[in-house]
Amino acid sequence: MAGAVEIPATVEAIKFISMTPQMAASLVGIGFVGGMLSGFLGSGGAFIMTPAMMSLGIPGIMAVAANITHKFGKAIMGSKKHGEYGNVDKRMGLVMFIALFIGVQLAVSVSKNVLAKAGTAGSNLYISVMFVVILTWVSWFMYRDVKRTAAGGVPSRGGLAEKIGSLNIPPMIHFKVANVRCSLWLALLVGLATGFLAGTIGVGGFIGVPAMIYLLGVPTYVAAGTELFLAIFSGMQGAYLYAINGLVDLRITLLLYVGSLLGLTIGAVGTRVVRGMQIKQVMTAIIAMVAVSRAVVIPKYLVDMKVIKMSQQSVSLFKYASDAFLYGSGLVGCSMILYWMYRAWQRASKMEKERAALGSEASVR
């Protein structure tokens, strides 16, 4: 029939996921961690949520589909919360929208072709390699910036990023909320990269947020809020494209929602009491650990594809090591966020008591 979508046999074979109580509880937990990181970092949390679902046995492309579908509704709430704090530059988001749309469309097409030609193991390998390449680059880039600042230096974009960010190719646009002026073409490039990664691994925030910070010069908290605004569009489009190909399991999506909505609120509040450099430190640590996690599990997928041979014991060892880095990254990230929020609350309480004491002394006099 003309216009019908042809679904590969491989897709049909992976459509059903057994939803045990343990699986359901794990998905709620993954949603909570991802939601907190999303609200705090503006990255959607998918760089930990997608691998975590894959570690539960969910095929990578279905994990991406569930993530980007759940991201749509979560992004609406997260963007609204950040908007209340004045963290969203809607003009920048709307300018990037066209390139974002193209990026998502291209990514979904590539992922479908990889699945059809290489099967589930090949799709998992493709997604994992994308994670390793992009997360390694982003974490190294951010680590250099954090290290430079900690040593008393001035934060820098870095060589290539500084050259790209300083390009004055007309037309130049001023974004009021972010208080930056940059080339339209540079903003579109960031939108395209964000959309492609959103469609490939479920979120583009961990490239979109650093790109806005280092290439466009956007403040950290505005980059986080604006990326969530962009995620509304990429999530909506990605959910539709994956759904028409039978790759969206709504049970997974809804369970992710249950955990993520609470985590998202906590994370968004954290951006108001935690310094921008601390946000970068959390993001750098988590991204680096997830990159290691995905790199360690690659041999397992190569064995599944029969590219290499390895004993089952060795495969299990790689899997355990991958899970340790993956879940450790979530534990480290959430612990740091909650600790800094607690310290900020302590400081605020101390200042409030000091003001109350001064007020009492003044009234006595």
- Listed by start position, the domains of the chain span 21-364
* Dihedral angle, C-alpha 346, 289, 123, 254, nearest 10 °: -20
Range name among 8-12, 84-88, 206-210, 222-226 with the lowest pLDDT average: 8-12
Query: Phi and psi of 160, rounded to 5°?
Result: -65, -45
Side-chain half-sphere exposure of 317, counting CA atoms within 13 A: 5
Query: Which whole number is the average pLDDT over 272-291?
Result: 74
Q: How big is the chain, counted in residues?
A: 365
Residue 358, both tokens: 């001064």
Indicate if the pLDDT at residue 335 is higher than 70: yes
DSSP lists the bridge partners of residue 18 as: none
H-assigned helices in the chain: 9-13, 21-41, 46-55, 60-84, 90-150, 159-165, 184-201, 205-214, 220-243, 250-270, 276-304, 312-364
Query: Which whole number is the average pLDDT over 271-275?
Result: 63
Q: Which residue has the higher pLDDT, 1 or 323?
A: 323
Query: Phi and psi of 50, rounded to 5°?
Result: -60, -50
pLDDT of 13 reads: 44
Residues ≥6 apart with Cβ < 8 Å to 198: 44, 68, 71, 100, 103, 104, 107, 204, 231, 234, 235, 238
pLDDT of 7 reads: 41
pLDDT of 298 reads: 92
pLDDT of 228 reads: 78
pLDDT of 360 reads: 66
12 vs 247: CA distance, rounded Å: 9
Query: Phi and psi of 183, rounded to 5°?
Result: -75, 140
Indicate if the pLDDT at residue 156 is higher than 50: yes
Mean pLDDT of the chain: 78
Q: Which residue has the higher pLDDT, 154 or 356?
A: 356
257 vs 225: CA distance, rounded Å: 19
Tell me the per-residue pLDDT of 182-216, one tens digit each, with 9 for 90 and over. 788 888 888 888 888 888 887 666 677 777 877 77
pTM for this entry:
0.73
pLDDT of 154 reads: 53
Q: Which residue has the higher pLDDT, 152 or 23?
A: 23
Query: Which whole number is the average pLDDT over 284-293?
Result: 85
pLDDT of 353 reads: 77
172 vs 184: CA distance, rounded Å: 6
Q: Which residue has the higher pLDDT, 224 or 159?
A: 224
Q: Given pLDDT bands bounded at 50, 70 and 90, which one contains residue 363? A: low
Indicate if the pLDDT at residue 155 is higher than 70: no
pLDDT of 10 reads: 46
Tell me the per-residue pLDDT of 98-137, one tens digit each, with 9 for 90 and over. 888 898 889 989 988 998 888 888 989 998 998 898 888 8
pLDDT of 295 reads: 92
119 vs 309: CA distance, rounded Å: 18
Q: Given pLDDT bands bounded at 50, 70 and 90, which one contains residue 234? A: confident
pLDDT of 365 reads: 59
DSSP 249: -
Tell me the per-residue pLDDT of 58-110, one tens digit each, with 9 for 90 and over. 888 888 888 888 777 767 766 776 667 677 777 887 888 888 889 888 998 99
